[in-house]
Structure 1
Amino acid sequence: MRYDLDDLRLFLHIVTEGSITAGARRMHLSLPSASARVRSLEHHAGVTLLIRGRRGVRPTPAGATLARHARDVLDRTARLDSAVASYTRSPIAQLTLLGGGSAMHRLVPQALVPFLRAHPDTDVTVSESRTPQTVRRLADGEADLGVVIDDEASDSGLRTEPLGDDSIVVIGQAGGVLGGRTSLTYSEVAEHPLVGLDAGSSLRRWIEKRLGPHAPVVRHRTTVADLNVLVSLAAAGAGLAVVPRRAIDPHHPLDVCELQDPWARRRHLLAWGAKDGAASPAAEALAAHLRRAALES
């Protein structure tokens, strides 16, 4: 026999509720209509499906078997509807965004949250990557956008635009050893105990590359993987820290000094992937959010 899906739904509601009246209510049917549907089911099945009593109904063994299989049929039907409906939805756009550690600290999250909220049909893969690797992947068309450092991307041949200051500064506990100072050299900083980022971090490797083989020997009291933790340690007096200015919360009680070394002055650039044709509307929209976040951070 052929089963009507609404009849199966009604039967399951009746078995679950233990009442034809309650099952009818869940299907928005009148009691006579629901009762007629159940009688039709029993007639076509050739067997009694419900035991009627003064306090409600309960399934017969045949009714329990029907309910079990009806539940499976309805579950499979729902999955079938979902699978077919997926072909009618707008395709999901996929973007890849790359950036170094300082960009990932505040800039990218501040841009990503409102972008994802405003563009539910776009997914973004975000990866931390040093500027040389970011430039290579953008040039190979493996990413849509990247936040890179100006001195490492200026000759890349990629489409770039200024995104904001990312200069390196030194921070310490408010009223500590930096008190009264407005600037100093990295060599002077190295005379004090430091807290720093892990040796493999993109920022630390960038700094060490610019210091070269004659870099002063520094004492790191501890190293951590996260800029938030690093700033908190410096604020607590664990040691001085060399960080991007962008990593500092302006409301955090810290002493901040400029670094006099020329390499400490750097800028973020927004770089575009070298893909065929014009950038997608989704990539343009994400770029706009990155520009806005750069102005606000």
Structure 2
Amino acid sequence: MRYDLDDLRLFLHVVTEGSITAGARRMHLSLPSASARVRSLEHHAGVTLLIRGRRGVRPTPAGTTLARHARDVLDRVARLDSAVAGYTRSPTAPLVLLAGGSAMHRLVPRALVSFLRAHPDVDVTVSESRTPRTVRMLADGEADLGVVLDDEARDCGLRMEPLGDDSLVVVGQAGGILSGRTALTYSEVAEHPLVGLDADSSLRRWIEKHLGPHAPAVRYRTTVTDLNVLVALAAAGVGLAVVPRRALAPDQTLDVCALQDPWARRHHLLARGIKAHPTPTATTALADHLHQAALADASP
């Protein structure tokens, strides 16, 4: 049987998203077209690949096997494309990736490790950048990809893809003042001593922007530049901290409460830039690694 690479990509997206509709959206296909491609794949394979239900789809054992081998095939094809493209692309023109502070903490490093190992001929320049600046640079053709926040990137005219939850939570020492609580407002958090990021950090400025002029008075016992240090201080009982939930490692021992304020619920989007001399294969590959890293980050 001869497999079409786009069909394999579509099938992987469908399995990953648990939905033919979502898989079609990732491939920029209509639902009827995507459904026809999946049915054709099943017909030529001679086996059922997906179990369809009211809430989505899940792979059969044959579908799981196909997805595993498809992922390997597509990864090898990406390496081949990257190796050949290396002869036509200037080594002084790396991909440019921009991301905010929370994405730079775990998501971007995880994606970079897998991408750079898989694509030894492609270089990446990474910079921390707030969403408004990232959007401007992408629109001006000065960057290839950007991880942005949904509420600050609406209607900007760029191609956007959902990347994952980046909601904020409050953390503190296990068994401390958060014990027994599942959610609270920022006003309640501000009644206690806090530890926070530096005033120039993208997360601190984002929070203060949404609190507005009537923000409650806050006592910061100390401010730091690194999310790892911030979480460690909160876990040690120095003070409460407001951080993205995805900044927390699954094995960390601390109390975590959701923030009830509407502005605390936010999502990451992956935005694609408009460059004069694009490298579509490498850009698409890096985007795929960012999506995979986001899924892995959310798994625990």
TM-score (norm 2): 0.68
> Following the alignment from structure 1 to structure 2, what is the Cα–Cα distance between the partners of residues 257 and 277?
46
* Gap runs ≥5 in structure 2: 1-85
After superposition, residues 1-297 of structure 1 pair within 5 angstroms as: 91=91, 94-276=94-276, 280-297=280-297
- CA deviation digits over 1:165-224, x for unaligned, max 9? 000000000000000000000000000000000000000000000000000000000000
RMSD over equivalenced CA pairs, Å = 1.9
Q: Secondary structure at the match of 1:212?
A: helix
Deviation, structure 1 residue 89: 10
> Following the alignment from structure 2 to structure 1, what is the Cα–Cα distance between the partners of residues 160 and 121?
26
Change (3 A) 1:169 1:88: closer
Amino acid at match of 1:157: G
Q: Secondary structure at the match of 2:123?
A: strand
Contact 1:97 1:125 in 2 (8 A): yes
Change (3 A) 1:160 1:279: farther
- CA deviation digits over 1:76-112, x for unaligned, max 9? xxxxxxxxxx999985761000000000000000000
Q: Secondary structure at the match of 2:106?
A: helix
Q: Secondary structure at the match of 1:162?
A: strand
Contact 1:163 1:270 in 2 (8 A): yes
* Gap runs ≥5 in structure 1: 1-85
> Following the alignment from structure 2 to structure 1, what is the Cα–Cα distance between the partners of residues 100 and 265?
16
Q: Secondary structure at the match of 1:175?
A: coil
Deviation, structure 1 residue 248: 0.5
273-282 vs 188-197, greater mean Cα deviation:
273-282
Percent of residue pairs bearing the same amino acid type: 77
Deviation, structure 1 residue 275: 2.2
Amino acid at match of 1:195: V
Amino acid at match of 1:123: D
Change (3 A) 1:277 1:187: same
- CA deviation digits over 1:235-278, x for unaligned, max 9? 01010000000100111001000000000000000000012477
Change (3 A) 1:171 1:89: closer
Change (3 A) 1:109 1:207: same
> Following the alignment from structure 2 to structure 1, what is the Cα–Cα distance between the partners of residues 193 and 90?
56
> Following the alignment from structure 1 to structure 2, what is the Cα–Cα distance between the partners of residues 277 and 244?
35
279-288 vs 209-218, greater mean Cα deviation:
279-288
Q: Secondary structure at the match of 2:214?
A: coil
Deviation, structure 1 residue 154: 1.3
Contact 1:130 1:202 in 2 (8 A): yes
Change (3 A) 1:291 1:87: closer
181-190 vs 90-99, greater mean Cα deviation:
90-99
Amino acid at match of 2:217: V
> Following the alignment from structure 1 to structure 2, what is the Cα–Cα distance between the partners of residues 269 and 94?
22
- CA deviation digits over 1:52-99, x for unaligned, max 9? xxxxxxxxxxxxxxxxxxxxxxxxxxxxxxxxxx99998576100000
- Structure of larger gyration radius: 1
Amino acid at match of 1:108: V
Change (3 A) 1:178 1:89: closer
Change (3 A) 1:89 1:122: closer
Change (3 A) 1:289 1:89: closer
Q: Secondary structure at the match of 1:256?
A: strand
